[in-house]
Structure 1
Amino acid sequence: MQHAVCVLKFGGTSVGNGERIRQVAKIVADHVVEARSGKDSPTPVVVVSAMSGVTDQLLRLARYACTGTNEECARELKQLKQKHFDAAAEVVELREHQAQLLGNLLSTLEALEQDVKALQLVAQQGQDVTLRTAAVAAYGERLSVLLVAAAVRDLGTAAQAIQKEIIITTPPQLNDGTQPFGVVVGAEPLPRETAENAHALIDPLLAEGVTPIACGFLGRTLIGYVTTLGRNGSDYSATVIGAALDCQEVTIYTDVDGVLTTDPRLIANARLLPHLSYAEAARLSWFGAKVLHPRTLIPVAPRNIPVRVRNTFRPHLRGTVVGPVVNGVNGLSGARAITVRRNLALITMESTNLFGAPENAGQVFELAARVGAAPIAICSSSGHHLSFVVEEQAADSIIAALQHDMGDWLVRCRRALAACACIGSGFVSDPMSPAHAVAALAHERILVIAQGSSEQGITLIVEEKASVRALRSLHRELIAPVIPLVRHVQPTTKESSLATSASRALSLQDPQTDRKNIAGAQQTLPASSLH
């Protein structure tokens, strides 16, 4: 690799319309200028999502094609075209650039129509439609890269849209009816093949001083079938490409300033976190924080490539850096962030034979995985007792499976629960943090159903109706105490005169004796005059 690169990823909100795409183009152009300024800044490689709402639109289009509802299919396609034509009218100003962009959009939309017809034919023949549906769903990114590349060129910066799939994946599983329509399962990136393909497509552009604008979300198999990396998988695709290029940093541009200590819609004094470790960020994502997709860090963490989260609409802010722990930067004491995950159920298993064989946790969790109910948290485990938390919608299926396969165990379930996760590497260095977390809920009379602990923090299971109150209490106790205003008591006339006299007397003293005299004067004043 001749060039040190960084990956800039822009989500669907960032490219939601023509005006926003112009903003994205300005950010990209600024990065290019910085890279060419001789300040050792890396050259940007850009990865973009589909325009906001377009992937849902394409999946509706695919469903209409599969069910033979041709009028709805035609209407959805017309709306999709108009959305991109409207954006095209805003993103470029030069006439020759407009003509080129419209031509590229029309060619891509014609290819989309051909893939829709192919999907209709496959559906009519009763064949599996997984791969053909993925091909249709991938057009959102193929269209958005054209818009972003045109906008960057319109600002005078050389850029080229890469509509080809960069990520090479394993073949996806065929839908056996258990997966929602359009969901691709099992298409996992192949690191070596992806790296070879990424360099083949991107290196020649970088050598010519052209900024690559690549598609997120999509990939292809070794034999050429189009695949996708799952809904909200564009962040993941950006880090896969970043790892393939061995980049210096991946920046995720989104619509928030970075990773906050908690949900700012619920807690007014939520704070921006300048740094997070990989483990902290992964745990936050697992317990419901929406800033990073849960799989985003998997490709980059083994390579120690940092991921920065920044706001497209406030690009002057540096955001949050997620990366390896350096010199204890992420080793602060106590919790770093608090998050909550709702709609959970607590499954409790107890042996009916206290003198029998101890429980086999591996068997339980294998059974849970088989019915699609992987545990979110394990709260307690002993020889004859096991409790763990699952999504509430999966509770019935796992209870039935456990009762069928483990007859010697009593299975109980408590629903309408939430997990409040207090996350921070500092829980190891501050052993009192878990105690403070539990005490915070006790002060508010919030019932703790169960808890689990790890080196990354503590998870408290509470009733869902109390989850917001619990979140506020934990944030106040562990992260951002609310400091009450101090009411100053007005001194009486006598107290005021005494204080004034003392002040005048002190002003005549030698400076070397001021400190002693101040202390003596304060001792003669009533306590109320010192507040």
Structure 2
Amino acid sequence: MRVLKFGGTSIGSADNINKVINILDEKSKSDNIVVVVSAVGGITDKLLEAANLACDKNLDYKPAYEVICLIHKTIIDELFLNSEKNLTIQTHYTQLHQIVSEKLSELSRLLDGIYLINELSPKTKDKLLSFGEGLSSTIIYHTLKSRQIDVSFKNSQDLIVTDSTFNNAIVNFGITDKNIKTYFDSSSSAIVLLPGFIGKSLRGEFTTLGRGGSDYTAAIIAANLEAKELQIWTDVSGMYTTNPKLVKQAAPIVQLSYQEAIELSHFGAKVLYPPTVLPVLKKNIPIVIKNTQAPKAIGTTITEIVVPNGGSPVKGISNIDKIALLTLQGNGMVGVPGFSKRLFEILAQEKINSILITQSSSEYSICFGILEEDAARAKEAIDLVFEYEIQLQKIDPIIIETNLSIIAVVGDKMKNHQGISGKMFSTLGKNNVNIRAIAQGASERNISAVINKNDVKKALNCLHEQFFETKTKQMNLFITGVGNVGERLLEQIKQQKAYVKENFKINLRVIGLSNSRTMVVNDDGINLKHWKDELKDGEKASLEEFFEHAKNLNLRNSVFIDITANEAVANSYANYLKESMSVIACNKIACSGDINYYNELKTLSRKYNASFLFETNVGAGLPIIDTLNHLITSGDKINTIQAVLSGSLNFIFNNFNADTTFHDVVKQAQQEGYTEPDPRIDLSGIDVARKILILARESGNALELSDIESASFLTPKANSSESVEDFFKTLIEDEGHYQHLLKSAQKSHCQLKFVAELDNGKAKVGLKEIPEGHPFYNLEGKDNIVMFYTQRYSEQPLIIKGAGAGADVTASGLFADIIRIANN
């Protein structure tokens, strides 16, 4: 014999009930089965809603009641479609409608009574709630009979006897076991159908078995009959490694031990309720969690002993929300026995359950977690009990913290593996998940932590990634600035996404995109094949709103990427770093602006464990800053830096000759994207000054931009031009000046290069004539070159050379920074 329990979602519609009937019909052909059913999905809540309205003298209880009637009558009508074509089926349909109408009329009278007396006692509440299971079991029974399936019906209230603790009655197993045995000894039906959740007291009063009562009913019957197994049918394919609504990578757990199942269900896994396990555990009866929508799925099997499979010792990660943390503390507690006894006695008297308890070794404080709804009542009762000690200031009034959740890592074999708790807490720490309290039993089967409720999704995802996924690290990217470079970066991410995931176990997801007009944020990731359309249809762009979206999503491994030249965007970096979101800056303003802000960003990066990378600030995709940092980290000291850092200016002076005009070369550089849309930014030397300033600061020199000596090669008219158009006019007018610079260099057999230098803490930039044989002389195209003279490279410099401008190489530098953060 097998016992099958079907939850509310499994029988929540006519379509689902038909699926249940197919399952029962198939299983009853090979074995006798007992079927326990819950109320139709959502009906228990609707019954309570109607009753509370009636108790509050609110006539809206009548429409609420009509909704309950409509739901059940609609299910019946849909189950018996075309019943008029078969006289037998039509007879069952008519009988069922009559029985259900009578039950609903009785429910109406009960609600009217609640309205009249303006009271909803625990006893009346149990009678009210019994209608849910009574109606659902009646509908399913008559539907089975109409389809000529061998089924009998038994009211659980005739079998399960309890005390008079209404709403959460305690079963009298002595009488209950005899009742069950007597009935089933005489039953010969292939299927026996019973309502779950309900019982009767010794005085014949309606009682209910509390939260998860239908599971408990099924477990009691399975244990008494020593069934082959207890099957719990629900809307998911077993117990999952974690909450699948919050973690998309969550997967069903094939096998669990009873103890693991109890721990997971106690800490929030709602598929199974802890009391369910106890009756079958004693008889070693397997529990199988199955999915009504996918009956062929394996599901989860819960047994006494689970054979190790060589995988992770962690079986699951669960969470409980709406937790309050209460702390009793004070010097008067130290070394004084009895405080814990008094504290937990008063909680027991108030029927408040402690979910988590921890105490400092100094005995200065006791911390415990309870449901948030019980917090105010608990504080009032505890402060009253300890009123004398509080007045004497031996202890403090109870402290309450709310908006918390508990996360628990569960597994039988965790105690045999070193470092599980270390991995758990380091993973949470890296993702800036603050832990308020910790509890771990001596069995090491469960490690629990109290965290802010806003961090639950991030905590579950990063822990699941750590313990269950193939070490694939998910990187969630928020990108602002999707012009030329941004577009190339998105193309590189799309092109390399599969390769990076396969070879480096890094899953790149673009969550947010923004330009100066619109922005789009998608928690599931933006489709990079259609990102332009999504961005075009996005909401109005806002720096503040973009940040709020990123903050509120609170995703693990979040990275903000700035591909603009916007000062306001640069000024937002601190906000991201304070939320432990890494920042990648293509924008040079933050690192070359006020040194106090630069230092603040560095400090925030360390404090909040969030990377702040800006490799593309100097040399686009060249590893200049990374190399510099490695030199300094290894103990080397920078003496001198000489560099050509503007690919734009290098392109211009490499293409400027006697056969061209300076104006035409600058125009060509602008059109081919080697300069900014406003070439004055490049030709003024300010961009190069910012770059050498960044290298100076990374070398340990506290310089401001005003400290950089800059010698302009432009004419006064060019420097004072008010528009790009006017600037180009001055280049034509002053062509003689630029030809003179060229001829002077040619006369000396030199090349013109715009050079940046840092020497003994002083920096300068300017146009220089570079002689033959110098490493800068043959620098071609848009290439950059940097020479580091250090204590170790004192005679022959360490040279980095390559393309230092262009959208593709800049995008590749940003891509490299993303991978650096992922590997951190």
The change in CA–CA distance for 1:128 and 1:253 in structure 2 (over 3 A counts) is closer
Question: Matched residues in 1 for 2:312 and 2:239: separation?
Answer: 18
1:195 corresponding residue in structure 2: 177
- In the TM superposition, residue 430 of structure 1 has moved relative to its aligned partner by 0.8
Task: Tell me if the contact between 1:242 and 1:249 (Cα under 8 Å) persists in the aligned partners.
Answer: yes
Question: Matched residues in 1 for 2:339 and 2:156: separation?
Answer: 48
Residues 156-235 of structure 1: matches in 2 within 5 Å?
A: 156-163=148-155, 165-173=157-165, 184-205=166-187, 207=188, 209-235=189-215
- In the TM superposition, residue 248 of structure 1 has moved relative to its aligned partner by 1.9
The change in CA–CA distance for 1:211 and 1:241 in structure 2 (over 3 A counts) is same
1:134 corresponding residue in structure 2: 126
2:816 corresponding residue in structure 1: none
Task: Tell me if the contact between 1:21 and 1:151 (Cα under 8 Å) persists in the aligned partners.
Answer: no
3-state SS of paired residue (1:157): coil
2:421 corresponding residue in structure 1: 434
Say whether residues 1:91 and 2:79 are aligned partners.
Answer: yes
The change in CA–CA distance for 1:137 and 1:380 in structure 2 (over 3 A counts) is same
1:247 corresponding residue in structure 2: 227
3-state SS of paired residue (2:105): helix
Which structure has the larger Rg over C-alpha atoms? 2
How well do the aligned residues superpose, as a CA RMSD in angstroms?
A: 2.9
The change in CA–CA distance for 1:457 and 1:333 in structure 2 (over 3 A counts) is farther
Question: Matched residues in 1 for 2:148 and 2:135: separation?
Answer: 21
Question: Matched residues in 2 for 1:381 and 1:9: separation?
Answer: 44
Question: Matched residues in 1 for 2:418 and 2:173: separation?
Answer: 40
Question: Matched residues in 2 for 1:191 and 1:221: separation?
Answer: 12
1:409 corresponding residue in structure 2: 395
Question: Matched residues in 2 for 1:221 and 1:123: separation?
Answer: 25
1:486 corresponding residue in structure 2: 503
1:467 corresponding residue in structure 2: 456
Question: Matched residues in 1 for 2:12 and 2:288: separation?
Answer: 21
- In the TM superposition, residue 354 of structure 1 has moved relative to its aligned partner by 6.9
Question: Matched residues in 2 for 1:475 and 1:274: separation?
Answer: 16
Deviation track 1:214-254 (CA, whole Å, cap 9, x = no partner) reads 11111112232222222542112211222232222111110
Question: Matched residues in 2 for 1:354 and 1:64: separation?
Answer: 46
Bigger mean CA offset, 288-297 vs 156-165? 156-165
The change in CA–CA distance for 1:95 and 1:14 in structure 2 (over 3 A counts) is farther
Deviation track 1:425-449 (CA, whole Å, cap 9, x = no partner) reads 1111113211111121222233222
1:347 corresponding residue in structure 2: 326
2:440 corresponding residue in structure 1: 453
Question: Matched residues in 2 for 1:400 and 1:133: separation?
Answer: 27
Task: Tell me if the contact between 1:195 and 1:245 (Cα under 8 Å) persists in the aligned partners.
Answer: no
The change in CA–CA distance for 1:347 and 1:330 in structure 2 (over 3 A counts) is farther
The change in CA–CA distance for 1:478 and 1:359 in structure 2 (over 3 A counts) is farther
Question: Matched residues in 2 for 1:189 and 1:473: separation?
Answer: 42
Residues 34-73 of structure 1: matches in 2 within 5 Å?
A: 34-35=30-31, 43-63=32-52, 72=60
> Structure 2-normalised TM-score?
0.52
Residues 13-32 of structure 1: matches in 2 within 5 Å?
A: 13-32=9-28
Question: Matched residues in 1 for 2:309 and 2:233: separation?
Answer: 22
The change in CA–CA distance for 1:115 and 1:312 in structure 2 (over 3 A counts) is closer
Bigger mean CA offset, 158-167 vs 296-305? 158-167
Say whether residues 1:9 and 2:32 are aligned partners.
Answer: no
Bigger mean CA offset, 354-363 vs 125-134? 125-134
Question: Matched residues in 2 for 1:435 and 1:125: separation?
Answer: 58
3-state SS of paired residue (2:377): helix
The change in CA–CA distance for 1:165 and 1:438 in structure 2 (over 3 A counts) is same
Say whether residues 1:151 and 2:149 are aligned partners.
Answer: no
Give the letter for the 1:50 counterpart: A
1:476 corresponding residue in structure 2: 465
The change in CA–CA distance for 1:116 and 1:355 in structure 2 (over 3 A counts) is closer
Q: Where does structure 2 lack aligned partners over 5 or more consecutive residues?
A: 473-500, 506-824
2:643 corresponding residue in structure 1: none
Question: Matched residues in 1 for 2:309 and 2:224: separation?
Answer: 27
1:367 corresponding residue in structure 2: 346
The change in CA–CA distance for 1:53 and 1:395 in structure 2 (over 3 A counts) is closer
Question: Matched residues in 1 for 2:164 and 2:296: separation?
Answer: 41
The change in CA–CA distance for 1:222 and 1:289 in structure 2 (over 3 A counts) is same
The change in CA–CA distance for 1:197 and 1:68 in structure 2 (over 3 A counts) is farther
Say whether residues 1:265 and 2:245 are aligned partners.
Answer: yes
Question: Matched residues in 2 for 1:267 and 1:195: separation?
Answer: 42
- In the TM superposition, residue 312 of structure 1 has moved relative to its aligned partner by 0.2
Residues 291-370 of structure 1: matches in 2 within 5 Å?
A: 291-326=271-306, 328-329=307-308, 333-353=312-332, 356-358=335-337, 360-370=339-349
- In the TM superposition, residue 137 of structure 1 has moved relative to its aligned partner by 2.3
Question: Matched residues in 1 for 2:38 and 2:75: separation?
Answer: 15
Q: How high is the sequence identity, in percent, across the aligned residues?
A: 27
Deviation track 1:26-45 (CA, whole Å, cap 9, x = no partner) reads 0001101122xxxxxxx211
Task: Tell me if the contact between 1:373 and 1:390 (Cα under 8 Å) persists in the aligned partners.
Answer: yes
Question: Matched residues in 1 for 2:437 and 2:126: separation?
Answer: 41
- In the TM superposition, residue 201 of structure 1 has moved relative to its aligned partner by 3.5
3-state SS of paired residue (2:152): strand
The change in CA–CA distance for 1:90 and 1:399 in structure 2 (over 3 A counts) is closer
Larger RCO (CA under 8 A, 6+ residues apart): 1
- In the TM superposition, residue 458 of structure 1 has moved relative to its aligned partner by 0.9
Deviation track 1:285-319 (CA, whole Å, cap 9, x = no partner) reads 12111111232212222221221110001000121
3-state SS of paired residue (1:428): helix
- In the TM superposition, residue 397 of structure 1 has moved relative to its aligned partner by 3.2
Task: Tell me if the contact between 1:16 and 1:52 (Cα under 8 Å) persists in the aligned partners.
Answer: yes
Task: Tell me if the contact between 1:115 and 1:135 (Cα under 8 Å) persists in the aligned partners.
Answer: no
Question: Matched residues in 2 for 1:91 and 1:358: separation?
Answer: 65
Give the letter for the 2:293 counterpart: F
Task: Tell me if the contact between 1:218 and 1:226 (Cα under 8 Å) persists in the aligned partners.
Answer: yes
Question: Matched residues in 2 for 1:273 and 1:123: separation?
Answer: 47
Task: Tell me if the contact between 1:427 and 1:434 (Cα under 8 Å) persists in the aligned partners.
Answer: no
Task: Tell me if the contact between 2:164 and 2:205 (Cα under 8 Å) persists in the aligned partners.
Answer: no
The change in CA–CA distance for 1:132 and 1:467 in structure 2 (over 3 A counts) is closer
2:488 corresponding residue in structure 1: none
Question: Matched residues in 1 for 2:332 and 2:38: separation?
Answer: 55
